[in-house]
Amino acid sequence: MTITRPNRLHHTAYVTKDLEATRAFYEDVIGLPLIATYTEMDELFGKERTYCHCFFELADGSALAFFQFADPADQAEFGPDIPASPFIHIALHVDAATQADLEARIAAAGITEPATYVLEHGYCRSVYVTDPNGMILEFTHDTPDAMAPDVDAERRASAHAELARWLGGDHKNNNPYRHAA
């Protein structure tokens, strides 16, 4: 049996308290064009709700989307604060030149520590920035050696075994690019 997979991410959606601050960050600083704005009124979850839904396009045609509700009660119900955890974030793939350009644009916009930081994972270099909603974005550039076809094939082949090892209690490091195995 052939298993088909989704083609690509269409969009991922979040609720924002300030669509203009969100627009300015994603469009003016990060460079994602605002490609659609839908203002809608729908019967949702037992009540008529009015909201605005904006889409910011990535290079592959997928998008980051943000909602804002007209009614403060709806905003409170659907717009809980985004958890301030570095482990809850959006990671976007970039090449080295785009990553450097983003770092420069973020700095030029005056966005600084602790809102931004760099982490060398070994298999990739990541630049992190916090958006106006408190959400963390990661701009990741893969290390060429770690993305070589033979390395990629080995990682795919061992992925289930490595997960089983971890779940079985063996927590030793397996990232040869950052720490000794």
**What CATH number is associated with residue 22?**
3.10.180.10
pLDDT at 181: 46
| DSSP letter (8 states) at residue 36 | E
pLDDT at 180: 52
Which of the residues in the chain have pLDDT under 70?
84, 113-114, 179-181
Asked if residue 154 is part of any domain, the answer here is no
Asked if residue 155 is part of any domain, the answer here is no
Cis peptide before 144 (omega within 30 of 0): no
Asked if residue 15 is part of any domain, the answer here is yes
- 136-142: strand order across its sheet: 89-93, 136-142, 124-130, 116-120
Asked if residue 86 is part of any domain, the answer here is no
pLDDT at 96: 93
Asked if residue 152 is part of any domain, the answer here is no
Name the strand (E) or helix (H) holding 98.
Answer: helix 96-108
Strand partners, 126: 119, 140
pLDDT at 140: 93
Domain of residue 41, residue span: 1-80
Asked if residue 6 is part of any domain, the answer here is yes
pLDDT at 179: 60
pLDDT at 113: 67
What are the structure tokens assigned to 34, written together? 């605002």
Asked if residue 104 is part of any domain, the answer here is no
Residue type (1 letter), 9 = L
The total of structural domains in the chain comes to 1
Asked if residue 42 is part of any domain, the answer here is yes
